[in-house]
Amino acid sequence: MQKKRLILPLVFLTLFGLQSCDTTDVDPAYGDWFKLSDLDGLARYSAVGFSIGDFGYLGMGADEDNYKLSDFWKFDPSKNTWTQIADFPGTARTAAVGLNIENKGYIGTGLDIEDNKLNDFWAYDPTSNAWEQKTDFPGSARRNAVSFTLLNKGYVGTGHDGNYTKDFYSYEPANDTWTKITSIGGSKRVGAASFVIDNKAYVGTGNNNGVNLSDLWQYDPSTETWIEMLDFDETTVARSYGYGFSLNNKGFIAGGSSSNTVWEYTTGGDDGLGEWLEVTSFEGSARNYPVAWTINNEGYVATGSNGLSRYDDLWKFTPDIVQDDE
In a domain, 222, yes or no: yes
β-pair partners for 170: 155, 179
Rg over CA atoms, the chain: 19
Which pLDDT score is estimated for 131? Answer: 99
CA 288 to chain CA centroid, nearest Å: 12
* Mean pLDDT score of the chain: 90
Of the given ranges (108-112, 277-281, 299-303), which has the lowest mean pLDDT? 277-281
160 within a domain of the structure (yes/no): yes
Domain assignment present for 221:
yes
Residues in the chain: 326
pLDDT tens readout for residues 23-60: 455 555 689 999 999 999 999 999 999 999 999 999 99
Number of domains present in the structure of the chain: 1
Cα separation of 318 and 32, whole Å?
Answer: 5
Structural domain contains residue 4: no
Which domain, by its residues, includes 190?
A: 12-322
Would you list the DSSP string of 3-54? ---------EEETTEEE----EEE-TTEEEEEEEPPPSS--BBS-EEEEETT
- φ, ψ (nearest 5 deg) of residue 179: -135, 130
Q: 61 to each of 68, 76, 139, 302, 307, how far by Cα in Å? A: 6, 20, 22, 12, 15
Residue 162 forms part of a structural domain: yes
Q: Is residue 1 part of a domain?
A: no
CATH code of residue 210: 2.120.10.80
pLDDT of residue 18: 31
d(CA 84, CA 74): 6
| Assigned domain for 5 exists | no
Task: Report if residue 315 sits inside a domain.
Answer: yes
**Residues 204-252: tens digit of each pLDDT:** 999 999 999 999 999 999 999 999 997 655 666 789 999 999 999 999 9
